[in-house]
Structure formats: C-alpha cells, structure tokens
Amino acid sequence: MPSISFTGHRTLPEDTSELSEYLYEKSEEAIISGVTDFYFGGAYGWDQLSFVVLLGLREKYPHIRLNLVLPCSNEEQIANWKEKDKAEFYRILSLADKIEYTSIITLKAV
C-alpha cells in the first residue's frame, strides 16, 4: 500500500495556517491518488502539526490510517517538553490508528 512519512523541525513559525493549508492540499492529492497510510514521528513541531492536519483529512477520508512511529518510550519522548506539548502528544497518541516503538536496547558489558 502506498504510504507517506512525516518528520521534521521542532520549531515552527507562530502562524502555521499557510503551512497547514499547503500540507492539507498536498496530502489530499496523495489520498486521492491512493495513499492510505501516513506515518509520523510524534515529536512536537512538524510531526504534531502534520498529524493534526491529517486528522482533519481523516474526517473526510475515514479509510486513511494515521500511524505513530516513536523512537523510544512515551516518557523518554516527552521528558523535556513543555506541558502543552506533552498534552498534545498524549492527545495524538489516543487518536492514532497504530503506535510502533523502534528503540534499540543497548546492553552494557559487566
């Protein structure tokens, strides 16, 4: 199945309306072309903005799937985040169709 992944900058401009509109349009074109799966890194900034935009598209196209691919545990992911970013992370977590964790455990030699 065709898919698209989103990951990017943590710092975005104050006004993201133009960026969100562009992302909405391009993502809708992709959906119409057959893309059904979207993958997000889950970090604040671009990752969260992309998820929220695609969440709006999921209302119109309920067959699309929004998947989080996280590099570590939830606690590690948000350890140094601001409270508003943490709240948005947990909201997104609750709305994702699937969550995958890709962290690698390193064992120390004794």
CB of 92 within 8 A of CB of 68? yes
Question: Which DSSP category does 27 fall into?
Answer: H
- pTM, full prediction: 0.85
Q: Within 10 A of 59 (CB to CB), how many other CB atoms are there?
A: 7
- Could you give the domains of the chain? 3-101 (3.40.50.450)
Question: Following CA atoms 39, 44, 46, 49 in sequence, which dihedral angle do they give, to the nearest 10 degrees?
Answer: 80
- Tokens representing 25 are 């349009």
CB of 106 within 8 A of CB of 72? no
Q: Which residue has the tokens 């391009």?
A: 26
pLDDT digit string (tens) for 15-54? 878 999 999 999 999 999 999 999 998 888 888 899 999 9
